[in-house]
Structure 1
Amino acid sequence: MTSTSSGFQPAAVMEKRTAAMSSSKLMELPYEILLLIFSKLPARSILQFQCVSKSSRNLVNNPALAAMHMAATNEHIDVEVRSLPFSYKNHLRFVSCGLLGFKYFGQVDGKLGLYNPLRREYLWLPQPEYIHDMFSERYGMGFDSVTNSHKIVHFLSRGFPERPNRWVARVHVLGTGSWRRIPLCSFTTVEVGNAYAYGEMHWLVDGNQIMSFNFREEEFRWTINPPPVTFRSSFARHFLINLRGSLALVDVVYSEKKVEIWMYKEQKYWTKDYCMPLDCCSGGYSNFAVGAWEHGIYIIIYEDYCIDQSLKYPTVVYYDLRCDNKKEHCRYQEQLHLFSSTGSLISLKQYDNVRTNSEKNFFDAGECDFPECVSELLKAPRVK
């Protein structure tokens, strides 16, 4: 159907013109207002908007919008849970700022890379100083609001636990070509996993202390007043996560079949906000992993020493904290690794100029092979 002399227009044409007019009027707003509006939207929706016009694409790719969006996503408006084959678990070293940090032990000799699942971009980072007697290592990533830069902190242990002063720390500013040594707190052991909250990265160390790294001041320090839970118990496991923008400690006590969530309020005091039953645990020895999803937390239960061989496959319990701790169980028929991530607008292309000419990566127009671990990250499905 075509337009008539009376001015009648088909519905599809009218809708298209209305959308174009709305977009035009929206982009006429002051730039600061546009940045504020877009920073409140989910990252996936923002990236779709860059296809509307050249001005909207420039707005979406503005690093200032990426910084504002990350600061505004404390409520995890677009958090996703993804799964990986269990064999690739050790490749994924950290998830922070919506980026995945992975280490590939192949052609690049263990170099660290960053990957943005939404933009489908990845970037190799400069190789840090080699330490031949490295025993274990931890990573974290955060944002410095003063210099508008992203930083990656890395600390590792040298030799065995009885060796004094064995931990070494260094920091890398994204966009530069090197790492710098920095002082580190004194501790012996550190748990696997970390949580980024309040502009700092947090780790649980020595069983009952929380060590934090401030990305603006580039220093490690202790978080005051750990929650009053029974640390170092053979019947409990503890995990730090970011829950709705706050630092939270999840206490999984499988001997009592319960889960408690302690929240660090206003960076001053801890409160126990939730206490929930864990009724899918057989009572035998179990390994756990904990993460956040859009409306609460999930717990992965690996029961390795059970008579029922089917229990060797993970069971995932999703707790919906909006509606009286509603639970949903999911039993998988394969070993897998889950991780949660919020969307990120950070474009890794803008940092691609720091690599040397001899290095190749994703932006070389297909001139290099995709690392196998990155290919799996690209295919990592979202968990509904």
Structure 2
Amino acid sequence: MRDLPYEIFTNIFSRLSIKSLFQFRCVCKTWRDLLTDPHFIKQQLNRSSETNISNPNLILNCGSNLCHVLYSIHNGTWDDKPVKLDLPFKLSNIGIVGSCNGLVCLLGFSRVYDVIVWNPFTRDFNKLPYAPLKFPGRTVSRFPVMGFGYSPSKDVYKVIRVIYFHVDRTWSSSCSSLVQVHTLGSDSWRRIGEIPFEIRDWLSGVFVNGALHWIAIRSSRPDTIVSFDVGNEKFRKMPQPYFGDDGFQSKLEVLGGFLCMICTYYDNRVKIWVMKDYGVKESWIKQFSISQPMVIGNFKCLKPLGFTKSGEILLEMHDRKLVLYDPERKIFRNFTIRGVPDWSEAGAFIGTLISPEACS
């Protein structure tokens, strides 16, 4: 191996699974130095994104515990048993804010909000500084809207937090907002003003194409897709598909690397739209429609996690159960991972060697 040119050596290693790379760091000092080199880490990330070698894994939130399932959605294979993650930090009531480039952002909420960015494979983590919220007058605030993303142009990772509050401690009073951003590698949160939209519920932002996305409302219908560019820290409206009908609730997710909108109708149908050309209204296409089979349950909280090699879609349903849906034959089948509670919240992420401590 020592006689191989460096370019060939790194090319071979960048094609290996993240599980193998993590083990190979313990072989010798030369391999450890290579596998912790920032240039190689970025090369491995780029190859994983381009060729889909490092298929998304599942991370399962079981309330106060996290389990990691080395499940390759694309190949349809998984380890015999899920691995209970031994967290190198303490969090209560864990929520998954989002994942990006192998880093997972977690929110612990009890008396205060703890935010941690963590790599489940390397176990490196970065606990963000605590930032007490100060509001004018006597106010009451909602649960924070969160988001985690990466700016390729500036090579930085950021966490955004939006707090809505009402003055005079009354929910009927006017609503104001506080927007804060933390850049990994800094030691504080920055306030960047207000947001001219009211983000619905407290859903975490969906990260696509260097921006976070939410469903928001203004004083009138219809709902609006609002995006936050992680690089320039600007909010803007995004074009929506032409639905041709109404009577549904919408939410945003990611499917196959594209921004998608899930429309749940009151007669228990679901239509999933995908934006094939980012930012272009005409590029929205209706990927498929699903009619609700009674044996599956309703689609209120449906979340797509990815495609299998055979073209099936792995979905998380409203009761946190996983199912596989074949859009060609329009057939559902249950998907069970042994040893995992049925009520686990699932999230998909790719495996990388990126350290949140080294992000600047």
Q: Is this a same-fold pair by TM over 0.5?
A: yes
Partners in 1 of 2:255 and 2:14 — Cα distance? Answer: 20
Shift of 1:319: 3.0
Matches within 5 A, 1:330-369: 330=335, 334-350=342-358
Partners in 1 of 2:96 and 2:145 — Cα distance? Answer: 8
Structure 2 stretches of 5 or more lacking a match? 67-92
Report the CA distance shift for 1:75/1:280 in structure 2 as closer, same or farther (over 3 A): farther
Is 278-287 or 54-63 further displaced after alignment?
Answer: 278-287
Shift of 1:285: 6.3
Partners in 1 of 2:46 and 2:173 — Cα distance? Answer: 40
Report the CA distance shift for 1:170/1:66 in structure 2 as closer, same or farther (over 3 A): farther
The residue that corresponds to 1:227 in the other structure is 241
Residues 291 and 340 in structure 1, CA contact (< 8 A), matched pair in contact too:
no
Q: 317, 327, 334: which one pairs with 1:329?
A: 334
SS in 2 for 1:280: coil
Shift of 1:165: 5.4
1:43-88 per-residue CA deviation (whole Å, 9 max, x = no partner) reads 3343334334433323322334444544552675421223222567
Q: 99, 122, 147: which one pairs with 1:119?
A: 122
Partners in 2 of 1:172 and 1:335 — Cα distance? Answer: 32
Report the CA distance shift for 1:75/1:29 in structure 2 as closer, same or farther (over 3 A): closer
The residue that corresponds to 2:31 in the other structure is 56
Report the CA distance shift for 1:230/1:153 in structure 2 as closer, same or farther (over 3 A): farther
Task: State the aligned residue count.
Answer: 312
Partners in 1 of 2:194 and 2:141 — Cα distance? Answer: 16
- Would you tell me which structure has more helix in proportion to its own residues? 1
The residue that corresponds to 1:190 in the other structure is 200
SS in 2 for 1:57: helix
The residue that corresponds to 2:85 in the other structure is none
Shift of 1:180: 0.7
1:166-206 per-residue CA deviation (whole Å, 9 max, x = no partner) reads 12111111111001111343112324243211111111212
Partners in 2 of 1:58 and 1:254 — Cα distance? Answer: 56
- Would you tell me which structure has more strand in proportion to its own residues? 2
The residue that corresponds to 2:277 in the other structure is 265
SS in 2 for 1:177: coil
1:294-343 per-residue CA deviation (whole Å, 9 max, x = no partner) reads 536433333xxxxxxxxxx554322357x766643247974332222222
1:255-286 per-residue CA deviation (whole Å, 9 max, x = no partner) reads 25344232342432333252143443469866
SS in 1 for 2:144: strand
Shift of 1:95: 1.6
User: Is 1:171 aligned to residue 169 of structure 2?
Assistant: no
The residue that corresponds to 2:190 in the other structure is 180
Q: Which has the larger radius of gyration?
A: 1
The residue that corresponds to 1:300 in the other structure is 316
Report the CA distance shift for 1:59/1:154 in structure 2 as closer, same or farther (over 3 A): farther
Q: 47, 55, 58: which one pairs with 1:81?
A: 58
The residue that corresponds to 2:233 in the other structure is 218
Residues 148 and 159 in structure 2, CA contact (< 8 A), matched pair in contact too:
yes
Report the CA distance shift for 1:230/1:181 in structure 2 as closer, same or farther (over 3 A): farther
Percent of pairs identical after alignment?
21
Give the residue type in structure 2 aligned to 1:57.
R
Structure 1 stretches of 5 or more lacking a match? 1-20, 303-312, 355-384
Residues 75 and 245 in structure 1, CA contact (< 8 A), matched pair in contact too:
no
Residues 81 and 293 in structure 1, CA contact (< 8 A), matched pair in contact too:
no
Is 52-61 or 196-205 further displaced after alignment?
Answer: 52-61
Cα RMSD after superposing both structures: 3.5
Q: 134, 137, 153: which one pairs with 1:131?
A: 134
Give the residue type in structure 1 aligned to 2:225.
I
1:183-232 per-residue CA deviation (whole Å, 9 max, x = no partner) reads 34311232424321111111121262111111221222222x21123797
Partners in 2 of 1:61 and 1:289 — Cα distance? Answer: 38
Shift of 1:134: 2.7
Report the CA distance shift for 1:38/1:261 in structure 2 as closer, same or farther (over 3 A): farther
The residue that corresponds to 2:210 in the other structure is 199
Residues 290 and 299 in structure 1, CA contact (< 8 A), matched pair in contact too:
yes
TM-score (norm 2): 0.72
Give the residue type in structure 2 aligned to 1:79.
P
